[in-house]
Structure 1
């Protein structure tokens, strides 16, 4: 498979709800590739498990990061309902499956070798913290300048123009995110390069998954 969106100097916007599914090596598991290197080392994708489907046991040489969007995702360690954030560190292994079916956002092989923390956060139960203005923030993971969090925008909120040192990656979890460049409905994926700038706002309550500081400088 050829490289897909591996030029990190370019902004990428994908409305994943309009994107076609492709088959994975396992029956009942479908993918929507967002970014993928030709050697299939660096992978970001939306993955759907049909009810009663599974993936064979496999390792994560440079880690795996997951956000459960719908349904229940499971592995040998537990069941993870919609809204769960997971990090499996470098060289971990698991055998994932789903009894009722699920939809997940997945990033593979993008950890620093020393980022060894295993994370399991049910964001439906974790507390929100006060952010800038009327925003609410739920920190999920921080490591050497890289930050991952959920951000809740109340209806009508406008944020000041700002730049992204080390880039910014957004997945719209619910609602509709906007800026001067466009309108991004639920499950839209946006990757903006180092020192990109925008002036975001929302009209309806919106929750986004945000990662910053992880793209090449």
Structure 2
């Protein structure tokens, strides 16, 4: 059983966003990563260079495509862009497992 409270999260420069890389290939941009967003916090707007598969483990988030809650599987296609924001109801962190191919490009506001 995965104990989400024991994961050694790494803070990012984005408020309320934490990562734990399981695998990361700097050459290709491919990664398998756990992402934790605190309630109400947003991951910066970004565009996917390749497909990204996301499985929501806890909490949920909203983006332009809709509402995604624990147990949901989301496929972000290559070239797609979004700005996910963690839900505040329930007031728990949104934790996701993401398998990304080709990395992402943060979009400037």
TM-score by length of 2: 0.77
Structure 2, unmatched stretches of 5+, are 103-109
Q: Is the counterpart of residue 160 in structure 1 residue 44 in structure 2?
A: yes
Q: Alpha carbon RMSD of aligned pairs, Å? A: 1.8
Partner of 2:11: 130
Higher relative contact order (Cα pairs below 8 Å, separated by 6+ residues) = 2
Describe the superposition over 1:169-204 as per-residue Cα deviations: whole angstroms up to 9, x where unpaired.
110000012102200111100011111111110123
Count of aligned pairs: 95
Which stretches of structure 1, 4 residues or more, deviate above 4 A after TM superposition? none
TM-score by length of 1: 0.41
Structure 1, unmatched stretches of 5+, are 1-81, 84-121
Partner of 2:73: 189
- Once the two structures are superposed, the pairs formed by residues 1-217 of structure 1 within 5 Å of their partners are 82-83=1-2, 124-133=5-14, 134-143=16-25, 144-204=28-88, 205-213=93-101
Query: How far did residue 123 of structure 1 move?
Result: 5.6
